[in-house]
Amino acid sequence: MNTQQARAMLADAEVIHSAEAVNATLDRMAAEIRDRLSESYPLVLCVMTGGVVFCGQLLTRLDFPLDFDYLHATRYGPETQGGKISWRTAPWTPVKGRKVLVVDDILDEGVTLAAVKESLLRLGAEEVLTAVFSDKLNGKNKPLAADFVGLTVPDRFVFGFGMDAGGAWRNLPAIYAKKDEA
Ligand SMILES: O=P(O)(O)OC[C@H]1O[C@H](OP(=O)(O)OP(=O)(O)O)[C@H](O)[C@@H]1O
Ligand SMILES: Nc1nc2[nH]cnc2c(=O)[nH]1
C-alpha cells in the first residue's frame, strides 16, 4: 500500500468508535484492571504488533507496581482472513508462578489469544488474565472470552488504534471500518 492508497482508504472509511470513546474506555478498563490486580505485582504482556497502542496507553493508567514484557504472535499479516498462528517471539521474562495480564487489540475468532493463554499456562503461569480493547460481534463460538473487554465492534474488518489495514493506520487514535464492507 502506498501513501495515496492509505489516505484514500481512510477517507472512505467509517468511524466506529471516536477517539473520545476510546479514551473513556481506556479509563474504565484501567479502573477494572486496578480493582483486580493492583496487589498482585502482575506481569503485563503486550501481544505485538496490534496490542502496542492499547497496551502503551493502558500502562500509563495503571498506577500500581507491575512488570512489563511482550510476545509476538500473528496469524493475519496484511490479510483480512486469519491463517495459522505464527510465533515470532516468546516473552523473555519468566512467567512461572506469575499472575499474567495479556493485552491485545482485538478478539476476533479468539484463536490468537486462546493459543497465547494456553502457552503461558504451559510455561507455568499461576494465572493468565486477558484484556482486549475490542471484541468483534461475529456470532462465532470463540475458544476464549476475555476477562477485560473495551468496546464491541461489528463483524467487519476494522482498523486504527493498533489495528492495521494492509499494514497502514495502526497509528490512528480512533477505530474505523472500511465503508465498502458495510
Ligand atoms: O482472534 P483472532 O481471530 O485470532 O485475531 C486476533 C489477532 O489478530 C490480530 O493480529 P494479527 O495476526 O493481525 O497480527 P498483528 O498484531 O501483527 O497485526 C490482533 O492483533 C490479534 O492478535
Ligand atoms: N486490523 C484488524 N486485524 C484483525 N485481526 C483480527 N480481526 C481483525 C480486524 O478486524 N482488523
CATH number for the domain spanning 111: value is 3.40.50.2020
Q: 180 falls in which pLDDT band (50, 70, 90)?
A: low
Average pLDDT over residues 170-178: 96
pLDDT number for residue 78: 66
Please give the Cα distance from 130 to 110 (Å, whole number): 11
Q: Are 125 and 96 in contact (CB under 8 A)?
A: yes
What is the residue whose three cell numbers read 507455568? 124
At a CB cut-off of 8 Å and minimum separation 6, what does 35 contact?
Answer: none
Residue nearest to atom 10 of ligand 1 (CA): 74
Q: What is the pTM of this model?
A: 0.95
What percent of the chain stands above pLDDT 70? 97
Task: Tell me whether residue 82 is in a domain.
Answer: no
Beta strands across the sheet bearing 158-159: 13-17, 175-178, 158-159
Is the shortest distance between the CB of 177 and ligand 2 below 6 Å?
A: no
Task: Tell me whether residue 114 is in a domain.
Answer: yes
Task: Tell me whether residue 108 is in a domain.
Answer: yes
Is the shortest distance between the CB of 53 and ligand 2 below 6 Å?
A: no
pLDDT number for residue 131: 98
Complex ipTM above 0.95? yes
Task: Tell me whether residue 158 is in a domain.
Answer: yes
Rounded to the nearest whole angstrom, what is the distance from the C-alpha of residue 81 to the centroid of ligand 1?
10
Task: Tell me whether residue 87 is in a domain.
Answer: no
For the chain, what is the mean pLDDT?
Answer: 94
Task: Tell me whether residue 60 is in a domain.
Answer: yes
Residue 134, pLDDT above cutoff 60:
yes
Which one of the ligands is nearest to 155 CA?
Answer: 2
Task: Tell me whether residue 83 is in a domain.
Answer: no
Residue 182, pLDDT above cutoff 60:
no
Rounded to the nearest whole angstrom, what is the distance from the C-alpha of residue 64 to the centroid of ligand 2?
31
Is the shortest distance between the CB of 159 and ligand 2 below 6 Å?
A: yes
Residue nearest to atom 13 of ligand 1 (CA): 76
Task: Tell me whether residue 123 is in a domain.
Answer: yes
**How many CB atoms within 10 Å of residue 4?**
8
pLDDT number for residue 80: 73
Please give the Cα distance from 117 to 169 (Å, whole number): 27
Q: Are 68 and 46 in contact (CB under 8 A)?
A: yes
Rounded to the nearest whole angstrom, what is the distance from the C-alpha of residue 168 to the centroid of ligand 1?
14
Total residue count of the chain as it appears in this document? 182
Structural domain containing residue 147: 3-72+92-177
Ligand 2: nearest atom to the Cα of 159: 1
Count of domains for the chain: 1
